[in-house]
Chain A
């Protein structure tokens, strides 16, 4: 049977961000897949080198609009490693609260997106409606709905006063109740089960081999969570369970994320109950010490990775970000080409793609386009190594 190519993207209703999925179809069956993520290059790493550490924070938060709290947190933790100063424990607890809040908002948003990808518009509308409660809380705590910019080098920007904490606890009750409802719907609705069970299969071995991170990895039954493995903010003091599920499909990812919502709610409750007294911020000098620092944070989408190299100057010499979506793209290819186990229909592509909670704009790699020759290409790691040995990158 002859095959034909169908491009999904870079502009497509199911994709919020530019990604090209070149699907090779045999009828409706996907037999091959290739992708290109280089439609968006924002040069954030380079821009960060032109800004001081304090100026860089709002920029880092804009790498990803949805997991901005995780990005900001990772940045501040990373830069703080360059100072020899203890961060007050209250700040760490407050950071945890806001990070978990943003995880709730991200997971609810993802639940809506997943429902939208399988054409379940009603659930999409409901989850996004209920997510507003969390967004309002974020706004009340930090001053802005989306780009919270809460974590600051040396602590957090604002305190959570007791009356706001009470309000937050009340919101948590609402979120818990609504999450229970969505879990019930996801578990009992036949059409959701039909569209997600067995779809986007990613075996634990493949998940490990493709370096999947976050909920995608946990849904394949691998216990891996940076919050537990390498505690950063106050995660060592606030107990929580690492949720895993063993069916390795999109359904498992829904269950894992939904169960994580309960964990987030409980973590916020515990953290607010045990909020230590003391200052929420220490003033740090503009210039950190020389050295390098590397931090991992469990963003809503998985392991987030920040690296900085400081010369002791006002500005970083090099800043490097590895976002979870880039790590999960390999897993996506494995999902879409899992031959033998089940047949991937083109109708399964959007939900499989959606199940890694993609955020393409954070991931773009260097892609070379030569307009005169009409060619475009990507350098492999070996080529880059070769060129760096020769001491020059551009030909």
Chain B
């Protein structure tokens, strides 16, 4: 690798479409989520910091960073310190897989579809340990719920992705993107897969109706009850980045990723624009789902996942097989 290539690759990883871009994108997505949710409920949402409250997530992040670092006496010190870092690192790494400015992510290798799903599981496990490490009763209940929930949504999520991969005949994200050049998968039988993916993503992100691990009215803040200050900031940032990742993944699998009509010379910028628009559409769907339902109980989450999501995912899978 020549020096120039080296610099370009580094810039890609660190600045665009890597860490810095993802950081600001995730804050923007949080703002969009909050604002859209508020508008759906006839409220105003963030308003005062920046243009229409655009800087509010950043302000929240900085505020949390500057707060006192409280470590309860009886927590497991190692896990308590490491889990926020791990969660953040995993979610940042996951976004490097996303094809944003071209049809390829910053990191691209054969089988990255599987890795992207795997990372979601890893994040779930780290969060589980984050809850468990505090030995708080609410946190333990939250962590236990997190795992129970994961057992429910993980399989439908994977199956919905398998349908796409099968159609594209590849386990490479860039191949999946390229195979949608003429026809987005959401317009075919994978529409069912999209529905499954949206609900599974909702569960992965712990949003209503699946926000049981941190159900405010039941177990206060669930697994993150003892986290404060910069640890909480890291968790929140990781959640936001995961939000970007899951919206981007849905856009990649079902909405043709960053592909769209381009002008010579402006391809990366236009691709990024298309990616953002498409994933914002997914985010809007996620937000509407969040506004539409009441929180389910843990047994109801399980039965919803196994009775509705899994058969739907399987049905989609069979449909794809039949068409091929």
Contact = CB atoms under 8 A, between A and B. Distances in A.
The answer to whether A and B touch in the complex, with CB atoms under 8 Å apart, is: yes
A347 to B, nearest CB: 5
Contacts of B138: 6
B131 to A, nearest CB: 15
Contact of B294 (A12, A126, A191, A349): A191
The A contact surface, by secondary structure, is: helix
A125 B38 CA distance: 10
Given A126-B42, A347-B212, A14 B297 contact: no
A342 to B, nearest CB: 11
Interface string B204-221: 000011011001111110
Nearest to A129: B42
A379 interface: no
Contacts of A226: none
Contacts of A194: 294, 296-297, 300
Contacts of A347: 212, 215, 218, 295, 297-298
Interface in A166-184: none
B65 to A, nearest CB: 24
A122 B41 contact: yes
B218 A122 contact: no
Q: Pick from A191, A195, A345 the residue with the most CB of B within 10 Å.
A: A191
Interface stretch (A103-111, A112-120, A290-298): A112-120
B205 to A, nearest CB: 15
Contacts of B295: 118-120, 191, 195, 347
Contact of B219 (A129, A195, A346): A346
A126 B41 contact: yes
Given A121-B208, A126-B41, A115 B294 contact: yes
B218 A349 contact: yes
Interface in B285-303: 291-300
A353 B220 CA distance: 15
A119 B141 contact: no
B41 A13 contact: no
Interface in A126-173: 126, 129
B209 A191 contact: yes
A121 B294 CA distance: 8
Contact of A192 (B212, B215, B294): B294
A116 B40 CA distance: 16
Contacts of A129: 42
A345 B296 CA distance: 12
B41 A119 contact: no
Interface in B137-166: 137-138, 141, 144-145
Contacts of A5: 137
Nearest 5 A/B pairs, CB to CB: A119-B295, A120-B294, A14-B217, A191-B294, A125-B41
Given A5-B137, A195-B296, A346-B141, 18 more contacts: A12-B220, A14-B216, A25-B141, A27-B144, A28-B145, A28-B298, A118-B217, A121-B41, A121-B291, A122-B40, A122-B291, A125-B43, A191-B294, A191-B295, A194-B296, A194-B297, A348-B297, A349-B218
27 contacts: A4-B137, A6-B138, A14-B217, A27-B144, A28-B141, A28-B144, A28-B145, A28-B298, A117-B217, A118-B294, A119-B217, A119-B294, A120-B294, A120-B295, A125-B41, A129-B42, A191-B209, A191-B294, A194-B300, A195-B296, A195-B300, A346-B141, A346-B218, A346-B219, A347-B212, A347-B218, A347-B298
